[in-house]
Amino acid sequence: MKAIVSGMIATYPVGGVAWDYGQYALGLERLGFEVYYLEDTGLEPYDPRQRGYGADYRYGIDFLGRSLAALSDSLGARWHARTLDGRSHGLPREDFRDVLAEADLFLNVSGSALMREEYLRCRNKVLIDTDPGLNQLHNFPRWDANPHWMDSHGFRAHDRFFTYAALIGTPQCELPGLGLHWRPTRPPVVLDLWRSRPPGERWTTVMTWRNFPKLIEHHGRRYGGKELEFERIEALPRRTGAALELAVGGVEPPCERWRSLGWSVIDSHCVSASLDDYRAYIECSRAEISVAKNTYVATRSGWFSCRTVCYLAAGLPAVVQDTGYSCTVPCGEGLIAFSSLEEAAAGVQRVEGDYARHQRAARALAETHFDSDRVLAELLEHAGVG
């Protein structure tokens, strides 16, 4: 069987993004699919060397090819990217048309691929909403208002709809369903690519600061990114004896303020230059401490982080802000949810009080809830593929 997996690796060429989409592609390959990666976002690429966006795709395309080849030799040869200037990279467009005609699954992760006419011929077009809140409150309504943007069809052109908003459609969750049947799913992690190392000294996370150009307004409320949530725990170093570190990028993060409060702060680009760099940073950490985007928290979406599943797979505990995921994922050992500074501090202390037990529980949680074999097999079943 053949599958096409879309992503944004060339558009945002950093290690964490490559893992996000790469584990979908590799996970399906491990399940026996002949997998092809597609990138067709209609967006200008980010250049981490320049710390900005522009029209030059060379760095992103090179990063894409290297990243896929690092995951598997076959993925390194089976990719097609269409850039904003209309040029094709990787497999020639004519060859990729043959793949489109034969594909049993078109997995549009994050809705990253523009739904062009040629893609509509694919069977089983599946949308994975990885950014609930931004999508339901902003991107999807904008797509409905202009469904033929960039000569494409809108998100409704898919056959089935999955989301990381585990609580969508329940009374707890404020996200609109937009008249569609959404089925919750979880970020997959390819377990054997992540290993435990001797515990590091620092609790860490990798985050982007102010990644929304402006706040989202919906029904009189405003929603945003982590900058609306991080102040809840910025005093955390003074509440614990643990060493805490932020690897941060984005727009003008207040690094000196955080350092004055006891955080170690480094540039996220230093730990995201490649798949290996990102993995090494996580594996050499002691545990994860992180807030979530305000859109996930305020809407009580139940979203869970594709970064956190990598910490768990590496046998590293995580104390991460609750978005409602505590209703669907076991918490208390290996994974601790918090909603306040006091709960975050208690979570750190709880992990440090029996670190080895929480390590074991973290890996066990990755195996039972986020293993790519399990997550993708369930997705395929509900999508009618297989």
How would DSSP label each residue in 202-213?
EEE-EEEES-SS
Return d(Cα 264, Cα 266) in angstroms, integer: 7
* CA gap 34, 77 in Å, rounded: 11
Please check the confidence at residue 382 and state whether its pLDDT lies above 80: yes
Q: Which residue has the tokens 């039972």?
A: 368
Range of weakest confidence among 24-38, 145-159, 192-206? 145-159
CA geometry: angle 292, 296, 302, nearest 5 deg: 105
Measured between alpha carbons, how far is 218 from 299 in angstroms, rounded to an integer? 11
Neighbours of 63 (CB within 10 A): 24
Which letter does DSSP use for residue 68 in this model?
Answer: H
- For the stretch 257-267, pLDDT in tens is 999 999 999 99
Q: What would the pLDDT profile of 132-185 be if each residue is shown by its tens digit?
A: 999 999 999 998 998 887 788 999 999 999 999 999 999 999 999 999 999 999
Name the nearest CA neighbour of 318 among 349, 287, 348.
287
Q: Is residue 333 packed enough to be buried (19+ CB in 10 Å), middle (13-18) or exposed (0-12)? A: middle
Structure confidence at residue 212 (pLDDT): 80
Secondary structure class of 141 (helix, strand, coil): helix
Between CA 132 and CA 344, with CA 187 as vertex, the angle to 5 degrees is: 75
Q: Is the pLDDT of residue 204 over 80?
A: yes
Provide mean pLDDT across the span 220-236.
95
Reply yes or no on whether the pLDDT at 247 is more than 80: yes
The answer to whether 112 and 39 have CB atoms below 8 angstroms apart is yes
Could you report the per-residue pLDDT of 6-19, keeping only the tens digit for each?
999 999 999 999 99
Quick count: other Cβ atoms within 10 Å of Cβ 57?
Answer: 22
Average pLDDT, the chain: 96
pTM of the model: 0.97
